[in-house]
Amino acid sequence: MENERYYGIDIGGTTVKIGLVENGAVLDKWSVPTDTSDNGRNILPDIVRSLPGPAAGAALAVPGAVLPDGTVNKCVNLGWGVCRPTEEFTTLTGIPCRVLNDANAAALAEQRLGGGKGFESILFVALGTGVGAGVILDGAVRVGARGSAGEIGHLCIDPEDQAAACTCGHHGCLETYASATGISRLAALAGYPGLTCKQIVDAAAAGDEALEAVVDRACDVLGRGIAGACAIIDPEAVVLGGGVAQAGDYFRLKVQDAFDRYAFHACLGTEIRLATLGSDAGMLGAALYAMG
Ligand SMILES: [Zn+2]
């Protein structure tokens, strides 16, 4: 029945992942390339052309800050400035549409169906090219007044670190140490240039002491940032997602150790867990968000 079906649409910088979801089950999923030419004006029409039919609702997960009223405050990776894509989507399709940040969408999916299942309140941290995050409190996505709640990637760790230039324009943000890009950067500084984050973590896990020191530094920064976030929002659990978290328990336990070193004593016991939904999390979370 179309009145119980929802589209979850995760718009990434190279690919759009789309799922048709009914009662929490994915009936079908597919992807279309993201055409970022011409300020990304073809992205929504390309998505709409791929949709097989009507639905009760849809939600867009986008790589940028989303204000509580649905205004998107720039998606540099898509070529979008400040815009309201839900209105264009509904004009093109007649389908009601909501929009949220992609890490917030993944957070919602992980809390309902993945690594945070069973908890009402989680902090989700997505470790990829950057560090995204999402806050779920009492089962609902919390975006904050400006769509930036939970953005621990831009916690200031060391503003004097001129080598740690962040995409946001500041220096020494958490993501310049703890993202995949940041870990590769730390390895290069330690004399190991040109390695991917996976190569670094794999070598560290296999016993390379110099690279293990690099991973320890990244996890120390991350655990300290998470401890600070937990002192503010006090979630039941923290869920690590994104490509870096695929390093599994080796990485998770180092973050847990660092968290335990830095956390306010009343926050000790907060579990650091791994995400389980992989790259479908954004699409699934968007579909859940579309359901309201
Ligand atoms: Zn930053």
Ligand 1 centre distance from Cα of residue 170 (Å): 5
pLDDT cut 70: percent of the chain above it: 99
User: Tokens standing for 117?
Assistant: 């299942």
DSSP-based three-state secondary structure for 223: helix
Ligand 1 centre distance from Cα of residue 169 (Å): 6
On the question of pLDDT at 1 being above 60, the answer is no
Domain map of the chain by residue range?
A: 2-104+280-290, 117-276
pLDDT at position 2, please? 58
Asked whether the beta carbons of 146 and 67 are under 8 A apart, the reply is: yes
Ligand 1 centre distance from Cα of residue 151 (Å): 9
pLDDT digit string (tens) for 48-83? 999 999 999 999 999 999 999 999 999 989 999 999
Question: Could you list which residues have their CB under 5 Å from ion ligand 1?
Answer: 154, 166, 168, 170, 173
Ligand 1 centre distance from Cα of residue 128 (Å): 14
Ligand 1 centre distance from Cα of residue 282 (Å): 22
Ligand 1 centre distance from Cα of residue 175 (Å): 7
What is the overall mean pLDDT for the chain?
Answer: 95
pLDDT at position 3, please? 72
Class of domain 2-104+280-290: alpha beta
| β-sheet with 271-274: strand ranges across | 140-142, 131-137, 122-127, 237-241, 271-274
Identical fold between 2-104+280-290 and 117-276: yes
Ligand 1 centre distance from Cα of residue 221 (Å): 14
Ligand 1 centre distance from Cα of residue 164 (Å): 9
Integer Cα distance of 168 and 166 in angstroms: 5
On the question of pLDDT at 243 being above 90, the answer is no
Q: What is the mean pLDDT of residues 20-43?
A: 95
Q: Does this model's pTM top 0.85?
A: yes
Tokens 């690099």 -> residue: 214
pLDDT at position 210, please? 98
Ligand 1 centre distance from Cα of residue 56 (Å): 38
Q: Which backbone phi and psi does 76 adopt, to 5 degrees?
A: -60, -40
Ligand 1 centre distance from Cα of residue 270 (Å): 26
Ligand 1 centre distance from Cα of residue 116 (Å): 26
pLDDT digit string (tens) for 85-133? 999 999 999 999 999 999 999 999 999 999 999 999 999 999 999 999 9
On the question of pLDDT at 244 being above 90, the answer is no
Ligand 1 centre distance from Cα of residue 74 (Å): 15
Contacts of residues 31-35 at CB distance under 8 Å and 24 or more positions apart, as own/partner, are 34/78
Reported residue count of the chain is 292
pLDDT digit string (tens) for 144-175? 999 999 999 999 999 999 999 998 899 999 99
CB contact burial 64-88 (16+ within 10 A = b; e otherwise): bbbbeebebbebebbbbeebebbeb
Ligand 1 centre distance from Cα of residue 30 (Å): 33
Fold of 117-276: Nucleotidyltransferase; domain 5 (3.30.420)
Burial class (CB in 10 A: 0-12, 13-18, 19+), 91: exposed
User: Tokens standing for 134?
Assistant: 């999402």
